[in-house]
Structure 1
């Protein structure tokens, strides 16, 4: 067997493979002999079918199968040994009227080669790294939310500002008949609030759905309808009052602190506020880190210039999908995937040049940290190390989970590298300001 490469240009090459009978004949003969032993052909005893008949019936199929195996194995070996960085997979060149009976079989494969480029991590333009802080307004709201959650309901005779009113929304034409508890603090307009103030159990009021609540997405749940139906809904509904309560705020005392954080973990309102601030900012850090990772990724995609073997990749997409695509469809698919492909190449180069690797022990520790955070959400704050090891072993026995966790861990390693090497400018900002600036 002889394999040679013809370089077309920096991004395209053709590999030529010449296979002779000596490369496959012994293997083909061995398989045909095995076929002869088990062949069941009318008119012949089992194991005594003439070899000529076996070759006539099975020879071509066995030959093609063995040659294809040889091609695949040796082509992959050649690409590895020659350290050719290819995109997609080699594409066989079409050969009309191919003669499988020749003493030498010649095949050609098109290659798309990865481009050579540089990725300077020290960016020319500084990239914003957001530091999201929990301001006094947010902490006040969190404290009040806790007090409400752990407070008690006091029954009232008539509706007053800030009360919670349980009742049933109805609109016969729209099929609305839903019992719910309405927090008056969530009402948007004074008209609805004034309509309810002073009302008693058994009273009904008419309310317009459009602009009823400060948060539009809550409308579907209080009316018991789909989010799609609730969007831009502009009708009148009746609301019949069945229960009126005022939520008495829980006292900020040691009993509440122990209930929230464990015995004597927090001992004063000041410590509570510090804990809320620290916990909130820790959660915000995940969002700001994701934003930084996205921004650095976009910067590298926009500012790292290199050509791709577009013609080859388009043909590869056209020929290797689940269903054959037209040239136009393949061009559309390539345009959709080009940005992702560019970043895969950029990310791969950054990982290789900075020797970012994942060892099993660190993947296991990463998995245990993830499991621990999941358990904490369900109140299991101090799991035993043995329990974490057992759960991690089960998780890492699933290859899909290994892939997902490995990708997350590599993203963390890239983020740490970017924080160290990329030209960053820190911007301190409240969460509310962050949402407005980032998400508009």
Structure 2
């Protein structure tokens, strides 16, 4: 067997595999001999069928199968030995007049080669690393929310200021139909608030979406309108009142604090605010980190220049799925996936150049931390090591979970590299301002 490679250019190559009779003949004869031992053909005893008949009936199929196996093994070994970094899989070149009745065969395969490029994490950029501030207004709002959440709910007949109103926003033309809870102070305009005062269950209040809230993004929460539609949305929506309640706020006493955090852990309103701030800081840091990671990713994709074997990849996309695609469909798929492919190559380069590896200990520690956080949400503030380890063992016995968690661990390692090497300006913002920045406004 002889394998040669012709580099068409830096991104494309043709590999030629020449298979001689001596490369496959022995294995073909062995398989046919096994067929003969087990063949049941009328007129012949089992195992006594003439080889010429076996050859005539099965010879061509066995030849094709064994040559194909030999071809695939040899090609795979060649790619490994030559350390070729390819994209997709080798594509066989179709030969119209291929002759299986000869003894020697020649096969050609197209290869798409991964490009050579460098990733400059220190390049000049306009990326901002946000530091989200938890201010007093937010803390007071969260304390009040807790008091209302654990307070006594009292049903009412008519709406007054400060009441909680449950109902459904609807607009048939825009497909709006969302049931939600509101308090009247969410509305930006006092005229809107007055429309609700004195209304009863079953009444319908019509309001305009334009300027309904102090931030148009709240339309996403209360009306379930998509982000692309919220800005400049100017339609009338009906709010059908279904419940009217007022809440007698819970007293911020030790009993409530113990119920929230465990006995004696939080002992005053000041400590409660510290706890809220601590939790919010963690949550906001995670959101800010995710935006930073997204922004660095976009920057690298846009500024790391290299070519791809586009025509090869389009041909490969046509063949890779369960059902073959047309050329037009493959072009559309390539356009959708090109950006993701570019980042996969960039990510692989960053991983190699920074020697990023995931050990089993990394995975166990990351999983244990996630489990502890989840248990804390359900009031289990101090689980035993044995309890956590048992859950970790169960989670990591699932290969799909291992894959998902490994991706999260690698993302964390990538984030740490970016924080260390990417020069970004830092900006302190409120959470509301961060949301605006996140949506590019």
Give TM-score, length-normalised by structure 2.
Answer: 0.86
Q: 1:80 to 1:236 in 2, by over 3 A?
A: closer
User: Structure 1 residues 122 and 414, CA, compared in 2 at 3 Å: closer, same or farther?
Assistant: same
Q: CA deviation at 1:273?
A: 1.5
Structure 1: distance between partners of 2:148 and 2:274: 19
The offset of 1:263, in angstroms, is: 2.1
The equivalent of 2:206 in structure 1 is: 208
Distance 1:237 1:313, change over 3 A: closer
Q: Map 1:110-121 to 2 at 5 A.
A: 110-121=110-121
What does residue range 23-422 of structure 1 map to in structure 2 within 5 Å? Answer: 23-153=23-153, 159-164=159-164, 183-186=183-186, 190=190, 193-194=193-194, 197=197, 205-208=203-206, 210=208, 216=219, 234=236, 246-422=246-422
Q: Distance in 2 between matches of 1:404 and 1:168?
A: 38
Residue matched to 1:228: none
Structure 1 pair 180–358 and aligned structure 2 pair: CA distance change class (3 A) = closer
- CA-to-aligned-CA distance 1:112-134 (integer Å, 9 cap, x gap): 11111111121222521111111
Q: Which runs of 5+ in 1 are unaligned?
A: 171-177, 222-230
Report the secondary structure of 1:389's partner residue. helix
Q: Deviations along 1:189-211, whole A, 9 cap, x unmatched?
A: 64565455457xx8875522655
Q: Structure 1's 386 and 62: CA in aligned 2 closer, same or farther, altered over 3 A?
A: same
Deviation at 1:377, TM superposition (A): 2.1
Deviations 1:97-123 (A, max 9, x none): 212232221111111111111111212
* 1:394–1:336 Cα change, 3 Å: same
Deviation at 1:238, TM superposition (A): 6.9
Contact 1:258/1:264, CA 8 A, preserved across alignment: yes
Q: Contact 1:39–1:49 at 8 Å: present in 2 too?
A: yes
Are the counterparts in 2 of residues 147 and 251 from structure 1 also a CA contact under 8 Å?
yes
SS at match of 2:429: strand
CA shift for structure 1 position 375: 2.1
Conserved? CA contact 2:167–2:239, under 8 Å: no
- Give the structure-1-normalised TM-score: 0.87
Give the match's secondary structure for 1:300: helix
Task: Specify whether residues 180 and 91 from structure 1 end up closer, same or farther in structure 2 by C-alpha distance, changes over 3 A only.
Answer: closer
Corresponding pairs, count = 421
Show CA shifts across 1:148-202 (max 9, x none): 11222457786532134689999xxxxxxx9997644456664565455457xx8
* C-alpha distance in structure 2 between counterparts of 1:140 and 1:47, whole Å: 89
Q: Which of 381-390 and 150-159 deviates more?
A: 150-159
Distance, in Å, in 1 between the alignment partners of 2:333 and 2:397 is 35
Q: Distance in 1 between matches of 2:99 and 2:179?
A: 79
Counterpart-to-counterpart distance in 1, 2:357 and 2:403: 14
In structure 2, C-alpha distance between the alignment counterparts of 1:157 and 1:322, rounded to whole Å: 61
C-alpha distance in structure 2 between counterparts of 1:310 and 1:67, whole Å: 30
Counterpart for residue 175 of structure 2? none
CA 1:304 to 1:324, structure 2 compared with 1: closer, same or farther past 3 Å?
Answer: same
| Alpha-carbon RMSD | 3.0
Give distance in 1, aligned partners of 2:352 and 2:385: 34
